[in-house]
């Protein structure tokens, strides 16, 4: 609405930005990834990438 004062737009922008940042932080930190207990080098296979032109 063009009749609103610039302070109104600024407060709406700040409230929206804080809500957006808070929502993203809650989604990012809600899941804790499980760290692997043991690190096995045998489980990784090294595939050779030989190009055959």
pLDDT in tens, the chain (53 residues): 566 677 788 899 999 999 999 999 999 988 877 777 765 555 556 666 777 76
| Structural tokens at position 14 | 């700040």
Domain assignment of residue 5, given as a range: 1-30
Flag whether 52 is in a domain: no
The tally of domains found in the chain comes to 1
Flag whether 40 is in a domain: no
Residue 41: the pLDDT is: 53
Flag whether 49 is in a domain: no
Residue 27: the pLDDT is: 92
DSSP string, 5-52: -HHHHHHHHHHHHHHHHHHHHHHHHS-PPPPPSS--STT---------
Flag whether 25 is in a domain: yes
Cα–Cα dist 9/27, whole Å: 27
Flag whether 17 is in a domain: yes
Flag whether 10 is in a domain: yes
Flag whether 18 is in a domain: yes
């Amino acid at each position: 609405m063009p009749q609103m004062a610039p302070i109104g737009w600024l407060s709406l922008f700040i409230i929206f930005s804080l809500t957006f940042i808070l929502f993203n932080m809650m989604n990012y930190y809600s899941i804790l990834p499980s760290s692997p207990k043991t690190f096995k080098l045998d489980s990784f296979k090294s595939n050779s990438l030989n190009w055959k032109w």
